[in-house]
């Protein structure tokens, strides 16, 4: 019997401030997140992936940024 994996794609809008807010809108498939670290050498992307993986209770390796690696608006895929 084969296992079937469903992937979800979300639009992520990133802000940089100390509030640490995180909201998910399942209807529009949009995530709004405020990061605390600066966007230098991929630190912000790593923090973003860690926050999203904790929320969706999955491993960070199951989350991929498929568009907008250097942008505040990103598209991620959760496998």
Q: Are the CB atoms for 51 and 40 separated by under 8 Å?
A: no
Q: What is the pLDDT of residues 41-78, one digit of tens each?
A: 889 999 999 999 999 999 999 999 999 999 999 999 99
Tokens for 8, please give them: 């979800």
- The pLDDT confidence band at residue 2, using thresholds 50, 70 and 90, is very low
Enumerate the β-bridge partners of residue 9.
77
Helices (H), 15-79: 43-55
- Domains of the chain are 8-78 (3.30.1200.10)
Q: Are the CB atoms for 43 and 19 separated by under 8 Å?
A: no
Global pTM reads 0.84
Q: Are the CB atoms for 61 and 78 separated by under 8 Å?
A: no
């Amino acid at each position: 019997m084969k296992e079937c994996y469903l992937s979800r794609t979300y639009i992520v809008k990133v802000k940089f401030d100390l509030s640490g807010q995180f909201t998910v809108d399942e209807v529009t498939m949009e995530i709004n997140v405020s990061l605390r670290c600066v966007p230098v050498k991929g630190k912000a992307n790593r923090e973003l992936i860690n926050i999203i993986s904790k929320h969706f209770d999955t491993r960070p390796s199951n989350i991929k940024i498929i568009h907008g690696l250097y942008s505040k608006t990103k598209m991620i895929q959760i496998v």
